[in-house]
Amino acid sequence: MTAETPEPNLDPSTIAARAGWSPDFITRPSSPPVYLTTAFDIESLEQLDAVAGGQEKGYIYTRDGNPNHEAFANDVARLEGAEAGVVTASGMGALTAVLMAMVKTGEHVVAARVLYGRTGQLLNHLASSFGLKVTYFDIDDLDALKAAIAVPTRLCIVESISNPLLEIADLPAIAQILGEIPLLVDSTFATPCLLKPISQGATLVWHSASKYLNGHGDLMAGVVVGPKNLIRRIRAMSSLYGVNSNPFESWLAARGLRSLPLRMNRVSQTALQVATFLQSVPQVSRVVYPGLKDHPHFERAKQCLPHGCGGMLAFELPGGRAAVDTLFRHLAHIIPFSPTLADSRTTVSYPAGTSHKFMTAAERAACGISDGLVRLSIGLEDPADLQRELGAALAKT
């Protein structure tokens, strides 16, 4: 199969299985080539103007665009139901490019209180160093959101499934309150296989593509998708600030994307089994998973996530940091402590010491992130093997 013309109404698994292709791959390799090139030769000044102006398809300089970047970004856009996309050096690169394109000094953004720690840290940095105004709100307090946007607001930032407490945002309700204010959704934990924020009122969706979209723990990349006019501005900022991806990372991300639907299905099933198992372990005081009845958003999850709640879960040890340390030392065989998520391997992480360490202890407490909270990223292993290792290690805490 070569340069494919996208067909309408394909199942996500069919779209994903073909990830990484670009219409100009005309030499018919069975795997897409990697365009490891800094720049592209140009026939004439006339052609330079036509490509730069968008009248002619082509590429000039890899920081601005490259077939591997375009292929991956288009695949994600298609899966998310968006018009266009841009791939960046990391998830944080994607957020940086969006913020540089959408907000200016003195302007106001609202953001969910529980977010990936570095997202909050970047907003706080822009507030203290560049005069951005930021108001945080609890995602279930829609009156607080209404009050916050009484001040002219340029952007609202939420996570569809929050890191690390797996809160599910009521995106249609938030979008309705926002009206014309753009809604930017981090959908790293959900992926388009479980939830499509644009169909629920989001304007832009971004991912740490280093996580599920790639799924093999071997690259750094980010991606943003949304309307063409905004993506054009965001791509320009990505290029200006140099947070562009590189061709091999984009190629790897597209390769990983091909198995995304299968992986999301598998991790959702295993996570529910492991979460149910952890509820029966006496050393665990709380299990957080939206597929469990006692999760505050269980009913919302049933509605918004009909294909499963994903592979992330969290649990708490009453013994705090010392108990977590003992647990990690005893998870010696198949579950490493690795400060990432969505690898093919199951991994554990410690939000208070990694993803959310840049918050103060009081800020973490306000978000429900205690010193005994462990984040578990379920991989592709056999659930019984995971339960055996977790049960044995937890018994030592």
Ligand X SMILES: Cc1ncc(COP(=O)(O)O)c(C=O)c1O
Instruction: Tell me how far apart the alpha carbons of residues 323 and 381 are, in angstroms, rounded to a whole number.
Output: 25
**Distance (Å, whole) CA 203 – CA 225:** 9
Phi, psi of 185 (to 5 degrees): -115, 125
Count of residues near ligand X by CB under 6 A: 15
Site for ligand X in 298-327 (CB under 6 A): none
Nearest Cα to Cα of residue 192 among 35, 327, 80, 336: 80
220 binds ligand X (CB under 6 A): yes
Q: Environment class of residue 208 by beta-carbon count within 10 Å: exposed (0-12), middle (13-18) or buried (19+)? A: buried
In one letter, which amino acid is 304?
C
- Smallest gap from Cβ 314 to ligand X, in A, equals 13
Distance CA 245, CA 242 (A): 9
Q: Min. distance of Cβ 179 from ligand X in angstroms?
A: 26
Can residue 212 be called a binding residue for ligand X (CB under 6 A)?
no
Provide the pairing of β-strand 222-226 with 84-88.
Answer: antiparallel
Residue nearer to ligand X on the CB measure, 200 or 208 = 208
Contact between 160 and ligand X by CB under 6 A: the answer reads no
Nearest to ligand X of 20, 164 (CB atom): 164
Kindly state the tokens that stand for 119: 């997202």
CB of 189 to ligand X, least distance (A): 6
Which class for 131: exposed (0-12), middle (13-18), buried (19 or more C-beta within 10 A)?
A: exposed
**Which tokens in the block code for residue 175?**
């979008």
Closer residue to ligand X, CB minimum distance, 18 or 196? 196
210 in contact with ligand X (CB under 6 A): yes
Q: Binding of ligand X at residue 343 (CB under 6 A)?
A: no
Q: Is residue 117 involved in binding ligand X (CB under 6 A)?
A: no
Whichever of 72 and 277 has its CB closer to ligand X, that residue is: 72
Distance between CA atoms of residues 48 and 170, nearest Å: 46
Nearest residue (CB) to ligand X, 122 versus 323: 122
Residue whose CB is less far from ligand X, 74 or 163: 163
Nearer to ligand X, 283 or 379 (CB): 379
Q: Among 71, 92, 174, 288, which residue sits at the site for ligand X (rule: CB under 6 A)?
A: 92
Q: How far apart, in whole angstroms, are the C-alpha atoms of residue 23 and residue 194?
A: 28
Of residues 196, 191, 244, the one with CA closest to residue 222:
244
Of 76 and 220, which CB lies nearer to ligand X in the complex structure? 220
**Rounded Cα–Cα distance for residues 212 and 264 (Å):** 8
**Order of all β-strands in the sheet with 286-288:** 286-288, 312-316, 373-377, 347-349
Tell which positions 169-208 bind ligand X, by CB under 6 A.
186, 188-189, 208
The binder of ligand X chosen from 20, 120, 222, 310 (CB under 6 A): 222
Q: Smallest distance from the beta carbon of 348 to ligand X, in angstroms?
A: 14
Cβ-proximal residue to ligand X, closest one: 91
Nearer to ligand X, 159 or 389 (CB): 159
Q: Which of residues 21, 116, 212, 328 is near ligand X by CB under 6 A?
A: 116
**Under a CB-based contact definition with an 8 Å cutoff, are residues 208 and 337 in contact?**
no
Task: Please pick, from the candidates 68, 90, 153, 203, the single residue that binds ligand X as defined by CB under 6 A.
Answer: 90
Span 344-383, contacts to ligand X by CB under 6 A: 355
In angstroms, give the least distance from the CB of 209 to ligand X. Answer: 7
Restricting to residues 243-262, name those near ligand X by CB under 6 A.
none
The burial class, CB within 10 Å (0-12 / 13-18 / 19+), for 104 is exposed
Instruction: Write down the least CB distance from residue 355 to ligand X, Å.
Output: 6
Applying CB under 6 A, the residues found at the interface with ligand X are 90-92, 116, 118, 159, 163, 186, 188-189, 208, 210, 220, 222, 355
